[in-house]
Structure 1
């Protein structure tokens, strides 16, 4: 509030009227967090264990589209798709459909863990460019925002 308005307000209502204005919390700065939706998220960890960075077919990644409430991605061997419901920081991933291609045994095992863990997610948090998917208070999966192509 400009200083001349504050001085006029002080004259009108006395110093006690100004106290709430002077002690009000400053407006919060715009968030620098990457948005959950319409961002491509590259998998970093599963239950705290680093994920395989990529397979011959690409990186394990997930994308939640705002307009359609659909999600899509790549689980390491197979593509995935489904629906999600997001309210505040609550997140429910609806039954996911995947293709059924086989690949290296290690990646198949990681993919199975990834899909099973996705089904148990109930909330999320974003700090900067990192997305954490949680079950209760426990971080189950972490992702980094990756550039879109």
Structure 2
């Protein structure tokens, strides 16, 4: 009886150590991912599965940056500047709110800014792989894909 009890206790102790290690590993991975996404200049390279190239008449690339101070979002949508706030949660969850856009008229811009802005409304999770950030909704194909830009 004592031997069985001792074996059960050893087994439970081993399981709790393993799950504790996995949890701290998951937290380290989440922190690494969070440090990758915040403060990075994310240049739009794909929107709704279509490649995005900067138009000749476009003043700068389409991008966004998550600022750690105040959890602010800043960026450019092709014609207008954008800003708002964001929250990051465990499991690579992301939520954007209070998104605002300037109201410049740019009739010749090649991209529909509303399609780009809708990404921030719909996205609820993200993935980062090989310097590319995908903003997703559920488990569907990415709404938009961004590349980390070295200079901005």
**How does the TM-score come out when normalised to structure 2?**
0.72
Query: C-alpha displacement at 1:117, in angstroms?
Result: 2.1
Structure 1 residues 106-144: Cα deviation after superposition (integer angstroms, max 9, x where no partner): 53x521110012210000010121000001012110000
Larger C-alpha radius of gyration, 1 or 2? 1
SS in 2 for 1:114: helix
Runs of 4+ in structure 1 over 2 Å off: 30-34, 52-56, 104-107
Q: Which residue is 2:106 aligned to?
A: 103
Structure with bigger helix share is 2
Whole-angstrom distance in 2 between the partners of 1:57 and 1:106? 10
Between structures 1 and 2, the one with greater strand share: 1
Query: In structure 2, how many angstroms separate the alpha carbons of the residues matched to 1:131 and 1:140?
Result: 11
For these two proteins, the number of residue pairs brought into alignment is: 126
> Unaligned 5+ residue runs, structure 2?
1-13
Q: Which residue of 2 aligns with 1:90?
A: 93
Inter-partner Cα distance in structure 2 for 1:106 and 1:137: 31
In structure 1, the residue matched to 2:36 is 35
> What is residue 127 of structure 2 aligned with on the other side?
125
Q: Which moved further from structure 2: 132-141 or 54-63? A: 54-63
Query: Would you say the 8 A contact 2:79–2:109 is kept in 1?
Result: no
CA distance in structure 2 between the partners assigned to 1:64 and 1:121 by the alignment: 14
- Equivalent residue, structure 2, for 1:144: 147
Alignment RMSD (CA, Å): 2.6
SS at match of 2:112: helix
Aligned to 2:3: none
Contact 2:119 2:135 in 1 (8 A): no
TM-score with structure 1 length normalisation?
0.73
